[in-house]
Amino acid sequence: MTSSISRQLVFWLAVPLMLLALCGALVHYFNNIAPNVISSDRRLKEATNALMAHVTIKDGRASLEPNSEGRPALPSPDTVRYALRDSQGHLLLGDAQLPSEPLTGASAQVFAMTQIDERSLRTLTTRFDTKFGLLMLTVADAHAPSASAARYGFMSTLLWDFVQLDITLVLVWVGIQLGLRPTKRLRDEIAERSPLDLRPIAESSVPRELAPIAVTLNRLFLMLRTSVQSQQQFIANTAHQLRTPITGMQAQLDLLAAEPAAEPIKHRLLTLQEGIRQLAHSANQLLTLARADPAINIAARKQRVDLSVTVGEVAARFFDRALKANIDLGVDVKPVTVIADPSLLDDLLSNLVDNALKYTPSGGSVTVSAGELNGRPYLAVDDTGPGIPEAERQHVRQRFYRLPNSPGHGSGLGLAIVEEIAQLYEATLSIGPGHGNRGTRMQLQFP
């Protein structure tokens, strides 16, 4: 599964932003809670000092002396709740609901949180010594903000921070998509190209960040064009080096066979001549097959080709052979053009006609036709030969495959060449019965 740059960018932004939002909510929470806690603690200490100053015990009963002379004023009952206990924990005065927090060691005061009437109250328990013994005074701040309110403030702050985070991530996503549009344009430009299109990409039309990619692609296209030109040159040189000596041998054998002194070995010379002709034919087919390779034809010459002209030229070339074999070679064409390399189309049709003449018996016929079918150019060769069984129609397209009991000594490359050239120009080769279910019809439908 391929990764997405957009998703990765949003992910790496979302994680730290979520942590920042959480930290911000916590800071906001503690900034609101801490001052309240400090203020509450101060009020508790002031209330505790005032209450201790007013505590009196008469006849074993504790009370608060209302006289304030020289002593701090008593806190309002609405603001504090208190409980006075002796060292054994017996309530002497105040609110029995307030617990007395245990004091350990030398600690004289301890703060705590107490749950009373579904409210969390902050309490201060103080131990102090009087002439009546040790007493424990617990004071609670009745007006301190509840923990539930603090939690509500924290959750509301956190919720708003995450809403802001979601909106921010959506805006970031939109910004990333807009920023990546040049990348998508470059991708679409390359995707829309044909595999044969090696034109350089205009580097001025891509952003600075994508310029290295465009430069690298242009360098690759240049290397491919250079490689293709080298292969084309190699094929041309090979064709020249093969055809020249083969043609020379054929000429020398023809002269030798015409000599009276060669009469005793004439049948051997004819066999040798046939072998040389087969060698020349196979060499030409192999070179044509190499030229039809899409990798070689990346920079192939393309132009508008009139199929009727190509059909006429190829039929004229095979007319003498058809006449000698007593085969009626006919042409049925209508003006139609395709974009292709003329030499490759010539090779394609030559192989189709060669196969048709090879398999058509004497007295039969071969018809080459071209025109439009369903609005698309087509090229077809019909013969009255034995036909190709339906089970063999896929196999005959393969290289070096020949039908069982095939006449002659062919190499099995004819239809493989036709198939390669058809694929090069995105044409469809169909093999079926000829007119009246006789023979074979080879048809190419061009796009």
Q: Which residue, chain included where needed, has tokens 């470059």?
A: 186
Mind listing the pLDDT tens digit for each residue in 143-186?
A: 665 555 656 666 777 788 778 878 888 888 888 788 778 888 88
Final residue in a domain of this structure, among 94, 124, 150: 150
Q: Is residue 186 part of a domain?
A: no
pLDDT at 400: 59
The Cα 266–Cα 148 span in angstroms is 118
Q: Is residue 118 part of a domain?
A: yes
Q: Is residue 132 part of a domain?
A: yes
Output the domain CATH number for residue 397. Answer: 3.30.565.10
Confidence of residue 326 (pLDDT cuts 50, 70, 90): very high
Q: Is residue 180 part of a domain?
A: no
pLDDT at 147: 53
Sheet holding 109-116, edge to edge: 91-94, 80-86, 133-141, 119-130, 109-116
- For the chain, the C-alpha Rg in angstroms (whole number) is 51
Record the tokens describing residue 154, joined without a space: 């924290």
Q: Classify residue 207 by burial, with Cβ atoms within 10 Å: 0-12, 13-18, 19+.
A: middle
Confidence of residue 299 (pLDDT cuts 50, 70, 90): very low
3-state secondary structure 213-260: HHHHHHHHHHHHHHHHHHHHHHHHHHHHHHHHHHHHHHHHHHHHHHCH
Q: Is residue 213 part of a domain?
A: no
Asked whether 98 and 81 are in contact (CB, 8 A), the reply is yes
The Cα 436–Cα 446 span in angstroms is 25
Least confident span in 40-54, 135-149, 201-215: 135-149
Strand partners, 120: 115
- Residue 44's nearest CA partner among 117, 101, 91, 88 is 101
Mind listing the pLDDT tens digit for each residue in 214-253?
A: 888 888 888 877 776 666 666 666 666 666 677 777 777 7
Final residue in a domain of this structure, among 127, 150, 173: 150
Span 91-101, average pLDDT: 82
Q: Is residue 224 part of a domain?
A: no
Give the chain's domain count. 2
Output the domain CATH number for residue 119. Answer: 3.30.450
Q: Is residue 287 part of a domain?
A: no
Helix (H, G, I), strand (E, B) or coil at 330: strand
The Cα 414–Cα 358 span in angstroms is 11
Confidence of residue 375 (pLDDT cuts 50, 70, 90): confident
| Cβ contacts of 66 within 8 Å, gap of 6 or more | 54, 74
pLDDT at 114: 79
Mind listing the pLDDT tens digit for each residue in 277-292?
A: 777 766 666 666 666 6
The Cα 149–Cα 415 span in angstroms is 87
- Residue 356's nearest CA partner among 278, 279, 431 is 431
Q: How many CB atoms within 10 Å of residue 134?
A: 13
Least confident span in 88-92, 169-173, 404-408: 404-408
The pLDDT mean for the chain works out to: 78
Q: Is residue 14 part of a domain?
A: yes
Please state the φ and ψ torsions of residue 446, each to the nearest 5 degrees: -90, 155
Helix (H, G, I), strand (E, B) or coil at 429: strand
Domain hosting 72: range is 5-150
The Cα 411–Cα 415 span in angstroms is 10
Final residue in a domain of this structure, among 100, 121, 150: 150
| Dihedral class, residue 380 (left if φ above 0, else alpha if ψ from -120 to 50, else beta) | beta
Q: Classify residue 136 by burial, with Cβ atoms within 10 Å: 0-12, 13-18, 19+.
A: buried
Asked whether 314 and 307 are in contact (CB, 8 A), the reply is no
The Cα 28–Cα 32 span in angstroms is 6
Is the pTM here over 0.75, yes or no?
A: no
